[in-house]
Amino acid sequence: MLRESNSSFFGSSPRLSWRSLFVWSGVGVLFSSALVILLAVVGAWLGTHFIIQLDDQIQHWFYLHSESRLALLPVISFITAIGSFKISALAAICAAALFFIQRSPRSFIYGYVILGSFAVMWLLNTGLKEIFRRSRPELDHLMVVHGYSFPSGHAMISMGFYGMFFVIWAIERQRRSASIILPIVCGIGFIGLIGISRIMLGVHYPTDVFAGFVAGLAWLVCMMGAMKRMI
């Protein structure tokens, strides 16, 4: 149950209309898209050879290419499944329903940003992949994958969608005058593991994952800006 308090994770500020939240959502979409495009431009400027070398080096560290490391496959497969469309959709619907039934202004905001984050991250990722159409790594994929590679959808959903859960957790802890270190540390660990799992399975280049994280973080920052003015 969400508890009301006069304090806020973001400090005191006047409430804005729901229209403002929608405006911030639009800004988030544009900001995320612009950063991914900027990263692609920087990559083109650095040159294909440099990017390939960077990806190869990081893949050498993480890709499950030996029998001993393949023992981790069940664990890595479970972690990466959390970032799948079906699991994240279920998480979004269940979490939003729990927030909406509480029928408080703050819980409605949380429900909206959870559903909005899920929808935007997946739709935006699909559009960006169609723009860049980067092929998957030429490695043995340790799970079945479809579609293009850049940016990583799992990385975007882990940062932009699941990251919102940790932001809400931090907000609620701060409202109770508790430390926000725990949600920050847990969030970094959780999000990082999903991203790394895609590299370990050989289904994404490290630069795909990095771009996905950047796009998701841009969305997260914009939503935090909106919530700052409404909670």
pLDDT in tens, 50-64: 888 898 888 888 887
Most confident of 17-26, 33-42, 57-66: 33-42
CB of 89 closer than 8 Å to CB of 119: no
Q: What is the pTM of this model?
A: 0.87
Backbone angles phi, psi at 22, to 5 degrees: -65, -40
Q: ω into residue 151 within 30 of 0, thus cis? A: yes
Distance of alpha carbon 110 from alpha carbon 103, whole angstroms: 11
- Cα Dmax for the chain: 58
Residues 69-107 pLDDT 10s: 778 889 999 999 999 999 999 999 999 999 999 888 888
Q: Report whether pLDDT(127) > 60.
A: yes
Contacts for 5 with CB less than 8 Å, ≥ 6 apart: 175, 176
Instruction: Give the three-state DSSP class for 204.
Output: coil
Rounded to whole angstroms, the Cα distance separating 137 from 231 reads: 43
